[in-house]
């Protein structure tokens, strides 16, 4: 399991949590993959939008290139919020493939 460093960043009017090279804005949850500098407001290379409905997480949209490490960071963040189930779709051969993962 990949261990992630979590750092809270205080920005007026926002609650932002940093984990690895991602920033999580807690609203719906908009996860932003940032560059090496790791500073809020920098250009980003990917975005994931996560909705929490009835205690389950739904990764509704992703833009950019996502690796296993990216998914693991998102998984670890969602798990750290006490959410038990993550739902997401994977596109393979131009077909949506729904997936569900339990965080335990």
Tens digit of each residue's pLDDT, the chain (104 residues): 556 666 665 544 346 788 888 888 666 888 898 877 677 777 888 999 998 877 788 998 888 888 889 889 999 998 888 888 999 887 777 777 778 888 87
Q: Which two tokens stand for residue 47?
A: 């975005």
Q: Structural domain of residue 12, as residue ranges?
A: 6-102
Q: Which residues pair with 87 in a beta bridge?
A: 58, 100
Instruction: For the chain, report the end-to-end CA distance as a whole number of angstroms.
Output: 13
Q: CATH number, domain at 21?
A: 3.40.630
Indicate the number of domains in the chain: 1
Q: Which residues does 48 contact at the CB level (< 8 Å), separation at least 6? A: 30, 31, 59, 61, 62, 66, 70, 74
Q: Residue 41 domain-assigned?
A: yes
Q: Residue 78 domain-assigned?
A: yes
Q: Residue 1 domain-assigned?
A: no
Q: Residue 23 domain-assigned?
A: yes
Q: Residue 26 domain-assigned?
A: yes
């Amino acid at each position: 399991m990949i261990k992630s460093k979590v750092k809270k960043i205080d920005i007026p009017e926002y609650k932002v949590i940093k984990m690895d090279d991602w920033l999580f804005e807690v609203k719906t949850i908009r996860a932003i993959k940032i560059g090496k500098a790791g500073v809020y407001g920098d250009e980003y290379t990917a975005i994931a939008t996560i909705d929490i409905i009835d205690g389950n997480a739904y990764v509704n949209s992703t833009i950019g290139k996502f690796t296993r490490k990216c998914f693991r960071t998102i998984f670890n963040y969602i798990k750290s919020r006490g959410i038990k189930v993550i739902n997401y779709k994977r596109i393979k051969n131009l077909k949506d493939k729904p997936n569900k993962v339990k965080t335990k």
